[in-house]
């Protein structure tokens, strides 16, 4: 078997086995006849089960970063889901302001520097990370990893409902309360492109217009019934859960997400008998724009 053939087979096994783009490989059910080939097919595909975003895979899903800071230091806590073994996870802070007494649960862990960022290495699973800071006076800003979208900030005993972050991801600690005159608002527009082929491929494009505080938003089961996800591209932290629910972490702004899926095998070789869809959530628009992309070469070869 050539290397190309082997990787094609490996990809086929992965796609057939994956009920969700965000499902870790240890949870994926495969046909009994293929189970002995699991390790072989996934060899070298360490990011299988991770979200694909902005040209690379993302194997972490951080929850809200809780920061409680004072004039002389502070503490942080954050829960994170890891979809790949030995994954580097960035912590708040930077060179000269590294967190100390960092723990995973009750276990103390080493912090290493990578590109000026404090890093811990985590295994697959869900972890709660805690740590503390010490400084002579409250800094003006604190470095927060871009992968963290949600922040619960308390400075000098006062909650900051709308923390201010600059374009580099730095969190402003002094004068960081930002008023939000619009309140919490969310508007969506959705379009789908169906690509003629075997199997039929559908790409769902979702535009989000968000106002208000940074928060996690559930968009519901956004994929069409009878499809298996292939890729999720997003400028936001986004995750397709095993049940098909799409969750994003968003602050105020306008964003686009692309979800690509294939229709599952049917008696007509991957072609659904009908196309139908219903609103997956209350905030979903009442109408969608659908586009059909025909493959004339496929039809000519079938004649």
Per the model's pLDDT, the better-predicted residue between 86 and 118 turns out to be 118
State the Cα torsion 118-69-134-136 to the nearest 10°.
Answer: 130
Per residue in 1-46, pLDDT tens?
A: 433 333 333 333 333 333 333 433 444 566 788 778 766 766 665 5
Which of 172, 197, 213 is the last residue in one of the domains? 172
Looking at the structure of the chain, the number of domains it has is 3
* Rounded Cα–Cα distance for residues 108 and 65 (Å): 19
Q: What is the mean pLDDT of residues 42-55?
A: 59
Are 201 and 281 part of one and the same domain?
yes
Residue 117 lies in a domain: yes
Q: How confident is the model at residue 102 (pLDDT cuts 50, 70, 90)?
A: very high
Which of 123, 143, 172 is the last residue in one of the domains? 172
Are 40 and 70 part of one and the same domain?
no
Q: How many residues does the chain have?
A: 303
Are 110 and 42 part of one and the same domain?
no
Are 191 and 297 part of one and the same domain?
yes
Tokens representing 40? 């072989």
Judge whether 259 and 240 are in contact, CB under 8 Å: yes
Q: CA nearest 104: which of 121, 85, 86?
A: 121
pLDDT at 141 over 70: yes
Per the model's pLDDT, the better-predicted residue between 86 and 271 turns out to be 86
| Sign of the dihedral through C-alpha 114, 116, 122, 124 | negative
pLDDT at 55 over 90: no
Q: Mean pLDDT lowest for which of 21-30, 133-142, 209-218, 268-277?
A: 21-30
Per the model's pLDDT, the better-predicted residue between 94 and 276 turns out to be 94
Structural domain boundaries, residue 152: 61-172
Are 65 and 160 part of one and the same domain?
yes
- What pLDDT is recorded for position 58? 64
Are 192 and 148 part of one and the same domain?
no
- What pLDDT is recorded for position 170? 85
Q: How confident is the model at residue 99 (pLDDT cuts 50, 70, 90)?
A: very high
pLDDT at 303 over 70: no
Judge whether 134 and 50 are in contact, CB under 8 Å: no
* Rounded Cα–Cα distance for residues 146 and 161 (Å): 19
- What pLDDT is recorded for position 198? 79
pLDDT at 75 over 90: yes
CATH assignment at residue 154: 2.60.40
* Rounded Cα–Cα distance for residues 196 and 217 (Å): 32
State the Cα torsion 294-295-296-300 to the nearest 10°.
Answer: -130
Are 154 and 194 part of one and the same domain?
no
pTM: 0.61
Are 213 and 284 part of one and the same domain?
yes
* Rounded Cα–Cα distance for residues 259 and 220 (Å): 13
Residue 54 lies in a domain: no
Which of 172, 205, 231 is the last residue in one of the domains? 172
Per residue in 258-267, pLDDT tens?
A: 888 888 865 4
Per residue in 291-301, pLDDT tens?
A: 988 877 665 55
- What pLDDT is recorded for position 57? 64
Are 204 and 249 part of one and the same domain?
yes
Residue 179 lies in a domain: no
In the chain, pLDDT over 90 holds for what percent of residues? 26
Angle, vertex CA 14, rays to CA 9 and CA 20, nearest 5: 160
Tokens 């991957």: give the residue: 270
Residue 162 lies in a domain: yes
Q: How confident is the model at residue 71 (pLDDT cuts 50, 70, 90)?
A: very high
Per the model's pLDDT, the better-predicted residue between 162 and 99 turns out to be 99
- What pLDDT is recorded for position 53? 55
Residue 178 lies in a domain: no
Are 197 and 263 part of one and the same domain?
yes
pLDDT at 277 over 60: yes
Residue 177 lies in a domain: no
Q: How much is the mean pLDDT over the chain?
A: 78
Residue 97 lies in a domain: yes
Residue 102 lies in a domain: yes
């Amino acid at each position: 078997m050539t290397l190309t053939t082997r990787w094609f087979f490996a990809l086929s096994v992965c796609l057939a086995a994956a009920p969700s783009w965000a499902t870790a490989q240890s949870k994926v059910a495969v046909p009994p006849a293929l189970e002995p080939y699991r390790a072989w097919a996934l060899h070298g595909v360490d990011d299988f089960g991770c979200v694909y975003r902005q040209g690379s895979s993302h194997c972490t899903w951080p929850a809200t970063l809780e920061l409680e800071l004072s004039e002389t230091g502070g503490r942080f806590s954050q829960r994170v889901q890891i979809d790949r073994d030995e994954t580097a996870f960035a912590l708040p802070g930077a060179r000269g302001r590294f967190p100390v007494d960092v723990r995973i649960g009750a276990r103390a862990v080493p912090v290493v520097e990578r590109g000026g960022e404090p890093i811990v290495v985590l295994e697959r699973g869900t972890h709660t990370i805690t740590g503390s800071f010490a400084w002579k006076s409250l800094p003006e800003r604190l470095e927060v990893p871009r992968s963290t979208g949600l922040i619960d900030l308390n400075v000098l005993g006062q909650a900051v409902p709308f923390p201010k972050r600059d374009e580099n991801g730095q969190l402003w600690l002094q004068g960081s309360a930002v008023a939000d005159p619009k309140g919490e608002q969310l508007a969506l527009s959705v379009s789908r492109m169906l690509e003629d082929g075997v199997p039929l491929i559908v790409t769902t494009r979702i535009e989000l217009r968000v106002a208000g505080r940074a928060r996690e938003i559930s968009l519901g089961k956004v994929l069409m019934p009878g499809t298996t996800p292939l890729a999720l591209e997003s400028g936001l932290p986004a995750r397709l859960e095993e049940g098909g629910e799409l969750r994003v972490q968003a602050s105020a702004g306008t964003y686009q997400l692309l979800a690509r899926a294939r229709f599952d095998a049917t008696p007509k070789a991957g072609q659904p008998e009908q196309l139908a869809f219903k609103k997956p959530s209350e905030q979903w628009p009442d109408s969608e724009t659908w586009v059909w992309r025909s493959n004339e070469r496929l039809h000519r070869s079938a004649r």
